[in-house]
Structure 1
Amino acid sequence: MRTIRPSQLNQSFQPQSNAWQKLFKEFCVYIRSQNYASSHGESYITYALEFVLYAERNSRRSIGSVDGETLNKYMEYLESRPNQRSGALLSVGTIATHRACVGMLFDYAYTSGMIAYTVPFPKLIRPERSIRTILSIEEIRSLFAVCRDPRDTAILSLAYGCGLRRNEMRHLDTGDVQTHNRILYVREGKGRKYRSIPLSNAVISNLKHYERNYRPRLLQSRMDAVAEPAYLLNAQGYRLAGNHIYETITELAQHTGSPEIIEKNVTPHLLRHSIATHLIERGAPMTWVQAFLGHANPDSTHIYTKTRKYQPHLLA
């Protein structure tokens, strides 16, 4: 059987049968109406199309003719298909996303009345997650100690003290950071989810110093400075790019001169992992940490309990 590669899934590769064409066209409209991040939605469509083409090549002329054996063989196909970019086999996570997209296709067909029932899916066996690397409290303090200016300190406070993702920091506006109310609002979270984050005394102090003593200086070169809503600014007084935020954190790790810190490849996401683990070690409820991080799935938060044993003194 010919291997279907993601890079080949373009307009020239479309379903041939009328039944598949109708289903896939409607499914595309449905996915694009669900307010997914654009890249995610298009990936779901691509993965669903790969399954449709596979089914057609195996003489399944409609979704109603797909049985459990077809799904089992499709999973075997995914497990043996190489990644187009790296040449390595697909990761378990990628295969799980493929499987979920096929499930979405079946669910849509069922709710639309195209099929009377859905077919049971084969179980996906996930390997045990490896323990995540994190920074210790002392290593976090070392990062703060080498900050070059109040903006560096603010970025660290947002990444570690608030557990923000890089893109969440980039999209922060001045109205989102309310130090007087001890709260920060994330309006552009992953999956376009909204959440609020309580601010600690240390974070409030660092952010106020940036707001009062450094951000106004960054605005001085702009004629329309008053109208700039972005919270984190570059040297020209405009919204700080995500790459700049990333580079700031990696550079601070280098400036510590600590081989242990440098070896851990410090990124905004590593700081996010670190605060999550430190909160759980201190005894924060799992549901609270889940809300703090903006995790939709509790399993995403549960992995932090495997990093270390409970050590309540770490954040004292």
Structure 2
Amino acid sequence: MIQYIQIFEDELRDRNYSENTISSYRSVLSQFLADFDTEPEYISEKEIKIYLRNSKSQSLLKQRIGALKRFYQYVMKQPLKFKYIDYPRPEERLPEILSQAEVKRLFEACSNLKHLAILYIFYSTGMRKSELINLKITDIDSEQMIIRIEQGKGKKDRNVPLSEKTLKILRKYYRKYKPNYYLFNGQFSNQYSAESIRNFIKDYAEKAGIRKRVYPHLLRHCNATHLYESGTDLSVIQDLLGHRQIKTTKRYARMSIKRISAVVTPDNFI
């Protein structure tokens, strides 16, 4: 079974998949092969469907389909086993966006300069957590007032704006912490950990008295929604966030509380 996993990893790397995706797919395949404990070529389409149906969440189901579909296509050369297996319809759940006042309270609750610099980058640029962790000092271009994001999600490079406010915070942070290579070093490693970021954002949200669930990716949603509410064109927001399709960006119009609250309801005409 180990040889199948290694061949699959090699195939994914040859096709330029990210290390995060490779790690995720390796985990799925390892569990799949362990659960069946037989040669994968003899596992039927019906058995695969039953296995997928027993996924505990929609996200796990999507992950399993993505990994196993590619395994049977790239390694086993049996793509037809997934001809009639589709991804589940996406759930129409919208995150509960923070108001600008709540974002301000979150920032005011922050008592650590490094944490504050991270919050500013998240909110001002809409950057993903993995993109922030991989930021290098040289990615900050104060002459052109941009931050370069190299090989973000989908292996794409893009630029996001660097505000004067964020630059000021970053300069204070740099003078105090003197980071090495990566912009944000961890306590015992060269890169800050995703778990530490999640934890301190949650702590500051509680300290600020915010009852909504607050997590790193929510600040990306807040960035896009507040940009839309301030009049920024959706196509510009699409470029800043690195979305492949405009329909992904359009959901921020649906998240806008200001847009909904500005509607004149029919009872006003009575």
TM-score with structure 2 length normalisation?
0.74
Distance 2:64 2:195 in 1: 30
Q: Which residue of the other structure, out of 256, 264, 267, is the alignment partner of 1:308? A: 256
Q: Which residue of the other structure, out of 176, 181, 193, is the alignment partner of 2:144? A: 181
Q: Which residue of the other structure, out of 151, 154, 174, is the alignment partner of 1:215? A: 174
Match of 1:134 in 2: 97
Change (3 A) 1:307 1:179: same
Change (3 A) 1:48 1:286: farther
1:305 counterpart letter in structure 2: A
Distance 1:285 1:243 in 2: 33
Match of 1:269 in 2: 217
Contact between 1:246 and 1:267, CA under 8 Å: does it hold in 2?
yes
Match of 1:6 in 2: none
Distance 1:126 1:99 in 2: 13
Q: C-alpha offsets along residues 74-97 of structure 1, whole Å, 9 cap, x if unaligned? A: 2233213xxxxxxxx422222223
Match of 2:56 in 1: 90
Q: C-alpha offsets along residues 171-203 of structure 1, whole Å, 9 cap, x if unaligned? A: 22222112331211112534554221023xxx3
Match of 1:74 in 2: 48
1:108 and 2:74 correspond = yes
Within 5 Å, which residues of 2 pair with 1:157-176? 157-176=120-139
Change (3 A) 1:71 1:139: same
3-state DSSP class of the match of 2:148? Answer: strand
1:92 counterpart letter in structure 2: Q
Match of 1:230 in 2: 182
Contact between 1:282 and 1:312, CA under 8 Å: does it hold in 2?
no
Match of 1:284 in 2: 232
1:264 counterpart letter in structure 2: K
1:251 and 2:214 correspond = no
Change (3 A) 1:195 1:138: same
2:18 counterpart letter in structure 1: A
1:291 counterpart letter in structure 2: D
Q: Which has the larger radius of gyration?
A: 1
Displacement after TM superposition at 1:31 (Å): 1.7
Distance 2:51 2:79 in 1: 27
Change (3 A) 1:176 1:121: same
1:121 and 2:84 correspond = yes
Contact between 2:185 and 2:191, CA under 8 Å: does it hold in 1?
yes
Change (3 A) 1:283 1:56: farther
Decide which moves more: 280-289 or 151-160: 280-289
Displacement after TM superposition at 1:280 (Å): 3.0
2:59 counterpart letter in structure 1: G
**Matched residues, percent identical?**
25
Displacement after TM superposition at 1:25 (Å): 6.6
Q: Give the CA RMSD over aligned residues.
A: 4.0
Displacement after TM superposition at 1:160 (Å): 0.6
Contact between 2:52 and 2:65, CA under 8 Å: does it hold in 1?
no
Q: Which residue of the other structure, out of 162, 165, 169, is the alignment partner of 1:205? A: 165
3-state DSSP class of the match of 2:229? Answer: helix
Unaligned runs of 5+ in 2: 263-270
Change (3 A) 1:169 1:108: closer
Contact between 2:124 and 2:166, CA under 8 Å: does it hold in 1?
no
Contact between 1:174 and 1:229, CA under 8 Å: does it hold in 2?
yes
Contact between 2:117 and 2:173, CA under 8 Å: does it hold in 1?
no
Distance 1:52 1:148 in 2: 47
Change (3 A) 1:123 1:250: closer
Number of equivalent positions: 261
TM-score with structure 1 length normalisation?
0.65
Decide which moves more: 301-310 or 140-149: 301-310
3-state DSSP class of the match of 2:256? Answer: coil
Distance 1:173 1:116 in 2: 40
